[in-house]
Amino acid sequence: MRKSAKIAQAQAILKALGLPRSQQNQISALTLLALCGLGINDAWFHARRDRRSVTKGIMDFIREKYRVAYAPNTRETIRRQVLQQLVLAGVADYNPFELGLATNSPRAHYAISETALNAIKTFGTSAWESAVANFLSQRTALIEVFERRRSKRLIPVRFPDGKLVKLSPGAHNKLQRAVVEQFASRFV
């Protein structure tokens, strides 16, 4: 199999598991493959749940198995823009083999979640669709998680006529809310 075909399959899996388009890119696909311990020619049913740190586990795996070398400063990009999103989506677990680790522990690690692993192992088989449905029924899609988080941060502004508008978070919008709700009602 070609490297690009394996990456495309991983991207299709990420899409099916409910990750948004921004998490269906090459770095996310390679991270998924590293979490599953799968090289270019490994079948999906050989995916396994192993402990992997970001640099020595995931980045080294990608470099060795897929010949893609990310700069050392990419570590934070992988952690923030890929792994945290996979954890939120229920595709990966953070420190599953040592639950009590401190956030800044040098032993911090990730692993593919058991529910995602069960689905991933069926990729390309007749059981794939029902395995994905089972995964999604157990985990909220990441898009919904993002939307809920975003709406929690929005600043509600109630106009005198009762109309409610939600503004993005920030000091300027807090000031605008105060102008509409306090200043305007008293002085206009």
Residues 19 and 138: their CA atoms lie apart, in Å, by 15
| Per-residue model confidence (pLDDT) at position 179 | 81
For 43-170, where are the alpha helices, taking DSSP H only?
Answer: 60-66, 75-77, 84-88, 114-120, 128-138, 142-153
Give the domain ranges of the chain: 3-140, 154-187
Strand partners, 92: 112
The whole-number pLDDT of residue 145 equals 64
Distance CA 112, CA 109 (A): 11
Check: CB of residue 139 under 8 Å from CB of residue 89: yes
| CA distance linking residue 185 with residue 188, whole number of Å | 6
Q: Which two tokens stand for residue 15?
A: 């899409």
Q: What would the pLDDT profile of 52-62 be if each residue is shown by its tens digit?
A: 999 899 999 99
Determine the Cα–Cα distance for residues 76 and 79; give it in Å rounded to an integer.
5
Residue 163: per-residue pLDDT:
86
Residue 150 DSSP one-character state: H
Per-residue pLDDT at 29: 97
Q: CATH: 3.40.47.10, 1.10.10.10, 1.10.3720.10, 1.10.10.1820. Which one for 3-140?
A: 1.10.10.1820
> Rounded to the nearest 5°, which phi and psi values hold at 15?
-65, -45
Structure tokens at 138: 């157990």
Identify the segments of the chain with pLDDT beneath 50.
none
* Burial profile 14-35: b = 16 or more Cβ within 10 angstroms, e = fewer: bebbbbbeebbbebbbbbbbbb
Q: Specify the pLDDT at position 23.
A: 92
